[in-house]
Structure formats: C-alpha cells, structure tokens
Amino acid sequence: YSQLFGGRNRDQNTAVAIAVVMGVSALVYAISFLLIRALSRYRELAADRAGAMLTARPSALASALTKVTGDIARIPT
C-alpha cells in the first residue's frame, strides 16, 4: 500500500498499472451492465410470449398489458 499512496519508492509503473486496472474495470462494468439489460429484456419478452401461448389469445394478453400500463401511469409518485 505504501507504493500506492506515496511511499518512498514510488515509480511510474505503479501509476500505469493502476490506470490500466481502473480502465479494464470500467470496461468490464459497462459490458456487464449492457449484457444484464439485454438479458432482462429477453426474459421479459420470453415471459410475454409464453403468456400469449398459454392463454392462446395473444390479443387478450396485449389488452391486459395495455390496461396495466395505463393504470400504472395514474398511480401518484
């Protein structure tokens, strides 16, 4: 830790290594954030598709989802 926070033998390699680690960490975070959002969206669409197949009436499911979405907008925050 002394090299990270201003120890006697601090060299430039430590600063470069920290910058590289921070950059890679930010990149991994951004990619994982996008992948998690994509997976969530896929699961949502798969659930809607399964619901439409189970009810055998996709129009009824669409109507119910529209009704629920409209009711959510009226709920005060």
Q: What is the pLDDT of residue 51?
A: 87
What b-and-e string marks burial along 61-74, b requiring 16 or more CB atoms within 10 Å of the CB?
Answer: beeeeeeeeeeeee
24 within some domain: yes
4 within some domain: no
Give the chain's residues under pLDDT 70: 1-12, 71-73, 75, 77
Structure tokens at 14: 């430590």
1 within some domain: no
The structure's pTM equals 0.60
Q: What is the pLDDT of residue 8?
A: 58
Q: What is the pLDDT of residue 1?
A: 55
Q: Domain of residue 63: give its range.
A: 12-74
Total number of domains in the chain? 1
45 within some domain: yes
38 within some domain: yes
Q: What is the pLDDT of residue 9?
A: 56
Q: What is the pLDDT of residue 12?
A: 63
Is residue 61 within 8 Å of residue 52, measured between CB atoms?
Answer: yes
42 within some domain: yes
2 within some domain: no
